[in-house]
Amino acid sequence: MEISTELLKKFKDKMHITHSSEDDNLKELLSFSIVAIRGTCGDFEVEGTTDIDFRARELVFERTRYVYNDALEYFEDNFLSELTSLGLDIAFKAGDFDTTI
């Protein structure tokens, strides 16, 4: 998955990373996080402009931050409500739900 320069810059700004020596690693970590969040919550556009896209991008950044700091094992527990909420919103938007539940 190709990570745009703009997305990488947004993540680096959030993390206060000013050097470029880790750019390839950060792109890889962002790619892994996009795949993981999509696998958990459903499809979204990481650089989109909808509420769902913004929330998904924030979760991608947070997961990448946890991976970068070698703390991935804590991510799901710490963001469970956000992951669940996003997954439900994506499913409802896509019409992938059973109205009899």
Q: Are 46 and 7 in contact (CB under 8 A)?
A: yes
Tell me if 99 is assigned to some domain: no
State residue 96's pLDDT score.
62
19-67: pLDDT as tens digits: 999 999 999 999 999 999 999 999 999 999 999 999 999 999 999 999 9
Q: What 3 state SS string does 43-82 have?
A: CCCCCCCCHHHHHHHHHHHHHHHHHHCCCHHHHHHHCHHH
pTM for the predicted model, two decimal places = 0.91
Tell me if 56 is assigned to some domain: yes
Percent of the chain with pLDDT over 70: 94
Tell me if 80 is assigned to some domain: yes
Tell me if 61 is assigned to some domain: yes
Q: Are 75 and 37 in contact (CB under 8 A)?
A: no
pLDDT at residue 101 tops 60: no
Pick from 81, 93, 83, 88: nearest CA to 36:
83
Domain with 54, as residue range(s), is 5-94
Tell me if 100 is assigned to some domain: no
State residue 12's pLDDT score.
98
Measured from the Cβ of residue 49, the count of other Cβ atoms closer than 10 Å reads 7
State residue 97's pLDDT score.
61
Mean pLDDT across 82-88: 97
State residue 91's pLDDT score.
92
